[in-house]
Structure 1
Amino acid sequence: MRFRASRKSLPNQGNNKDNGRIEAFIKKFGSLAPRRYSFAEIKKMTNKFNDKLSQGGYGNVRRGKLSKDCFVAVKVLSELKGNGEDFMNEVASISRTSHVNIVSLLDFCFERSKRALIYEFMPHGYLDKLIYSQGSNNQCRQLEWKTLYDIALGIARGLEYLHQDCNTRILHFNIKPHNILLDKNFCPKISDFGLSKLCERKESIISMACARGKIGYIAPEVFCRNFGEVSYKSDVYSYGMMVLEMVGGRKNIDVGVSQTSEMYFPSWIYEHFDQSMNLNLKGVIAEEEEEITRKLIIVSLWCIQCDPCDRPSITKVLEMLQGNLQSLIIPPRPFVSSQVRSPKTLSHDKIWTISDNEIVFSLSFIV
């Protein structure tokens, strides 16, 4: 039997202005809002939160059941983080979407400080679990090259829908492997809209009070306006970095490699692109697979150009991915130099600086 959703407004406690804002937000949606459950119902459908699927900065994701044959993923948001903006962003953004490459928000819970989001369940979980080489023997990723290519295409189609086909343009600002879910057929679905921004279709530039996203995927203009204006091209940058990780089977910044010259993967791949034997990417054996790999690399390097104006739109990205490899032009180097020190002196942050009219990418380091 399916749980019955609670439709009555739940009382607030104290003078929590954030709770009042969220209640007003839900009321504004009216009948268009997803169904609402009590926290007791959330606890019951997740079997007291026993089956943990993943853990993130804003909460844990648990597996639940709405009915006998209907599994769901329940994201229980942390009570101590955020002022409710991530919750409202998620509901506002996904409620406006309907696309095969966007995860579906089914229901939600808001009960004072208790907040949860209920999504369709994705059997293959997050993309990041399947693309990185793992184990002491550095075993190959678990996905075939054709599957990786189809996943890259699907994510691009989802972004194109968010950028071009929604009545209200949605900028995600958190595209990364951990926010891509895979269904039973490995169809990718963009998830986690907690950092997203809504803007009118006619608006191409948006204002932001602070940087948002994860280090390694954030476009340079998002945290330093000297690089240009923040726009949908910022999502394109994140997409490019993510696809490079899919190609390399490793993090873009890898402090575990033996040579510091190989630490920043985009720099290494650019240096070795014309030397097919030196790419040495795991699993590339057939001619068709190498063509897929080269196409993904060229498109990704275009996406991570420092100047947003030099990056393609996501529609152009799709055109390049589906076109002939011979028609693709290798882009300019997207960075001037990669300055790194010993991994022992390295932190996980990064700094973009401008020096002598050159854009220099460097890892921030602690001596």
Structure 2
Amino acid sequence: MLWEKGDCLARVIVPIIPILTGLLDFLNISNVGDALRRGFDVKWKVGIEECDECKSTDGVCGYDLLNQTTTCYCQGQSSGSKSCPHLSGSSSRVNFRNLKFLLAFSFALIFTIIFIIIVVVSICKKFPRKVSENDQHVEAFIRNQELLATKRYTYSDVKNMTKAFADKVGQGGCGAVYQGQLADGRLVAVKVLNESKENAEEFVNEVASISRTSHVNVVSLLGFCYQRKKRALIYEFMSNGSLDKFIYSKGTSDRLEWKTLHEIATGIARGLEYLHRGCSKRILHFDIKPQNILLDENFCPKISDFGLAKLCKREDSAVSMLGARGTVGYIAPEVFCRNFGKVSYKSDVYSYGMMIFEMVGIKKDTDVGMSHTTSDVYFPNSIYKRLEVGEELRLDGVIKEEDEEISRKMILVSLWCIQTNPSDRPSMSEVVEMLEGSLQSLQLPPMPFLSSPPRSPGVRYSTSSSTSTS
């Protein structure tokens, strides 16, 4: 008979003699055929251990009639032995043990790696990377400020809002300014500070000063970024840029009307009055100049760039500084030489007066008929003499009587502001009153007596020891 298991086919011979012993009484052929068709049991004796060994090697245990012995059928053929070749039980068990060992080793290795990562992260959190003393100072300042209205951004946020610094709108001594946009759609001006220790100190001054302010004539700080050497300040965007664009331009299209110039001068004065008297702490700007006055779409002026600012108590009549700070050409005499008096808010008044001269266009030597070779002569003296004798100033754009009155008023105010003795200068509240009052109420101030320092509006300086905040 044939015996089949899967693809394995084997022939098993069963002797007829055991079958016929039960059919001795039925010797005819038809009876034998009926008996075979009805089926019968076939039994043979095989050793249990021998079959176990065969089965452990994926074989089928059987009986070889010719050899009268137990055999193992393996994949379609008889092996002639008690097990299938190349798949002995010991080899299979060894391979299984190797697999279990490999899996156990893999799990142990993964667990060890995860454990090491957890330990390293824990150690890093417990012992943070060493930061400079300067960075520690800035971070401590930020924590102490509790700037609820000023949001802190990451450097990635700054890159996203400026589209990777694609639109540069300005360049200053401290860094470049880029146009950006916040998530809510508001346009912003992003000043990215240069990577230097001095700029870290200016960053502290800027945030400490401007975060305390809220005035229509002071630019709003909307956020900041501080990631070690990556520092940026985010301001409201001023569509008309800085005032110097309209002062130094030679084209008539950018020339502002005298009424607009007067409104700008009054707005700046109100902003400085607020900084000196309207905040919980008095803020001295120390860098008033046209480049730091921004104009919105309606030409409303806003004071910006508080990098050199200093905070002091409102009742303090003077502040201590170990070195000069400001931009050459706008610095008050007492700031670089203490013999002229004490440094105070009157130093900002002086810078404001020099800026007014820029606005009316008479700080240019050619406008007052002065030779370029006489830059060491203090130019307000020439203006003062013209006013004293009532001589025409020959200012550009003065075509109406109203314009003449505005220009003379602004010049008289600036002359009062640049008095050599700080006590002779008016406060900013008095400046506002003079600008809004009549020309007839203004008196000619005493003549200043100084030689002007070389002009370089783009250069400013400060000492690191003098830029700390109170």
- What is the TM-score when the length of structure 1 is the normalising length? 0.84
Question: Which residue in 1 is equivalent to 2:182?
Answer: 66
Q: Say if 1:13 and 1:217 are closer, same or farther in 2 by CA, change over 3 A.
A: farther
Q: Which amino acid aligns with 2:351?
A: S
Aligned to 2:324: 211
Contact 1:106 1:118 in 2 (8 A): yes
Tell me how far apart the structure 1 counterparts of residues 423 and 256 of structure 2 sit (CA, whole Å): 33
Q: Does 1:107 align with 2:223?
A: yes
CA offset digits 1:171-207 (Å, max 9, x no partner): 0000000000000100000000010000111111100
Matched, 1:311 2:398: no
SS of the counterpart of 1:84?
helix
CA distance in 1, matches of 2:452, 2:388: 22
2:274 to 161, 183, 190: 161
In the other structure, the counterpart of 1:269 is 383
Whole-Å Cα distance in 2 between the matches of residues 250 and 292 of structure 1? 17
Task: Give 2:441's match in structure 1, choosing from 327, 336, 355.
Answer: 327
> Are residues 64 and 300 of structure 1, via their aligned partners in 2, closer, same or farther at CA, if it must alter by over 3 Å?
same
Change in 2 beyond 3 A, CA 1:253/1:116: farther
Residue 234 in structure 1 maps to residue 234 in structure 2: no
Distance 2:271 2:452 in 1: 34
Structure 1: runs of 5 or more not aligned: 1-10, 341-345, 350-367
Kept after mapping to 1: 8 A contact 2:328/2:455: no
1:188 to 278, 283, 301: 301
**d(CA) in 1 for partners of 2:216 and 2:161?**
25
2:103 is matched with: none
Question: Are the equivalent residues in 2 in contact too, given 1:156–1:314 (CA < 8 A)?
Answer: yes
Whole-Å separation in 2 of the counterparts to 1:319 and 1:308: 19
Contact kept? 2:398, 2:404, Cα under 8 Å: yes
| Aligned twin of 2:22 | none
Q: Distance in 2 between matches of 1:243 and 1:170?
A: 21
Instruction: Find the counterpart in structure 2 of residue 7 from structure 1.
Output: none
Q: CA deviation at 1:348?
A: 5.0
The answer to whether the 8 A contact 2:333-2:420 is kept is: yes
Alignment of 1:140-159 (within 5 A): 142-159=255-272
The residue that corresponds to 1:197 in the other structure is 310
Aligned equivalent of 2:241: 125
Decide which structure has greater strand share.
1
Contact 1:75–1:117 at 8 Å: present in 2 too?
Answer: yes
Deviation at 1:42, TM superposition (A): 0.3
Partner of 1:46: 162
Matched residue SS, 2:312: strand
Q: Does 1:91 align with 2:207?
A: yes
Q: Deviations over 1:230-277 (max 9, x none)?
A: 0000000000000111011655899x9745457754233223224666
Q: CA-to-partner distance for each residue in 1:26-54, whole Å, 9 max, x for gaps?
A: 11012536111110110111011111111
CA-CA distance at 1:14 after TM superposition = 3.6
Q: Please tell me whether the aligned partners of residues 171 and 177 of structure 2 are also in contact (alpha carbons under 8 angstroms).
A: yes
% identical equivalent positions: 61
Partner residue, 2:172 = 56
Q: Determine if contact 1:103/1:119 at 8 Å carries over to the other structure.
A: yes
- In structure 1, C-alpha distance between the alignment counterparts of 2:292 and 2:455, rounded to whole Å: 23
How far off its partner does 1:334 sit? 1.1
Quick check: 91-100 or 74-83, which moved more? 74-83
Once residues 310 and 343 of structure 2 are traced to their aligned partners in structure 1, the CA distance between those partners, rounded to angstroms, is 11
Give the letter aligned to residue 121 of structure 1.
F
Identify which of 197, 219, 223 aligns with 2:336: 223
Aligned partner of 2:13 in structure 1 is none
Moved more, 24-33 or 244-253: 244-253
SS in 2 for 1:44: helix
Q: 1:264 to 1:13 in 2, by over 3 A?
A: farther
Aligned letter for 1:295? K
Aligned residues of 1:140 and 1:282 also touching (Cα < 8 A): no
Determine which structure has the larger helix proportion and give its number. Answer: 2
| Distance change (3 Å), C-alpha of 1:83 and 1:56 | closer
Residue 112 (structure 1) shift: 1.4
Corresponding position of 2:153: 37
Which has the greater radius of gyration?
Answer: 2
Cα distance change of structure 1 residues 214 and 252 upon mapping to structure 2, 3 Å threshold: farther
Cα separation, partners in 2 of 1:310 and 1:193, compared to 1, 3 Å? same
- Contiguous gaps of at least 5 residues in structure 2: 1-126, 458-470
Q: 1:128 to 1:252 in 2, by over 3 A?
A: farther
Secondary structure of 2:407's aligned partner:
helix
- 1:294 matched to 2:408: yes
Distance of 1:20 and 1:228 partners within structure 2: 36
Tell me the amino acid that sits aligned with residue 164 of structure 1.
R
Say if 1:12 and 1:25 are closer, same or farther in 2 by CA, change over 3 A: farther
